[in-house]
Amino acid sequence: MPPDYQQIAELFGLEAAQPDEVEWEETASDAGEVGVDALTKGTAKLSDGDYEAAVEHFQRAVEHQEGDPRDALIGLATAQEMLGDSPAAFRQFRMAQRMHAKDPDPLVGLSDLYLRDGNLREALRELEAAIRAEPYNPYFHLKVAEALRSRGKLAEADTAAQQAVLLAPDQAFYHYWRGDLALERRQYLVALDCLRAAIELSPGDDHLLVRAALAFWGAERPVDAIKAMRLASDLDPEKLPYYALLADFLRSEGRIDEADTEAKRAGELDRYDRDFWIRLRREAGFKDLELE
């Protein structure tokens, strides 16, 4: 049974929590209806993950000048990047950038390629150019944060993430991202503040509640961590690792009977669920199973 949203509001000190709020996850656009032109077909194939077919359609769009050539080049570059053809993707992104000098989107694509090659300096340079073109675009600041985080520059990443939050305070994802970074840095109170803001905007998101549970646990608030995990498992009863982590929390607090009940609900985890559970355990600070 889904939890009473008043329970979520009470746990996080929110004034109200509405179950019909839009969740933070980005959803794929409905690209299944393929149009007659190559650009539309390429976009659909890219969305479906059929990158080889996407390349073929985008190449045709470029050659026959179907649709916006900038969109065709960026689509082609993105598909080539997903196929691991970085040199070809770099050429298309650079061509798109030269075609529309004020368009920042190709710069973001170029930054991803530089980062993949381990060149943080050039990646940041491209993103800085994108920010100069659109200084109030929170996504570009988040990309800077992602690049810095990927190279272990966590404090600098947080500064960039704060800018994204300031530019889009009504979007749960940016609060979540900064909260998740704070978890990585073991700044549990900061993480709770960020995740509380995200949950207020998207109270029906079980993933946010799990991240908050880990922050509560790290902040030595086990009762609240257990409450948050129960709410998360109520929101999505099909996610068996939630019960397994809840059992860990309960067992650690000496609530053995309750822990056994949750462990039974988790049952025998398949490989994917077990890996997910182990990752959560590690974040919570539990020893690896093999060492217990």
Q: What is the pLDDT of residue 2?
A: 64
pTM, 2 dp: 0.79
Residue 199, C-beta contacts closer than 8 angstroms, at least 6 positions apart: 8, 12, 14, 17, 172, 205, 208, 209, 212
Residue 78 pLDDT: 81
Q: With left for phi above 0 and alpha for psi between -120 and 50, is residue 21 left, alpha or beta?
A: beta
The tens-digit pLDDT sequence of the chain (292 residues) is 566 678 888 888 887 555 544 444 443 333 333 334 888 887 888 788 888 887 888 888 878 776 667 778 888 778 888 888 888 887 878 888 777 767 898 898 899 899 988 999 999 999 999 999 999 999 999 999 999 999 999 999 999 999 999 999 999 999 999 999 999 999 999 999 999 999 999 999 999 999 999 999 999 999 999 999 999 999 999 999 999 999 999 999 999 999 999 999 999 999 999 999 999 999 999 987 653 4
- Give the pLDDT of residue 56: 86
pLDDT value for 180: 97
Q: What is the pLDDT of residue 224?
A: 97
CA count, 13 A, side-chain hemisphere, 277: 22
- Predicted confidence at residue 142, as pLDDT, reads 97
> pLDDT at position 289, please?
67
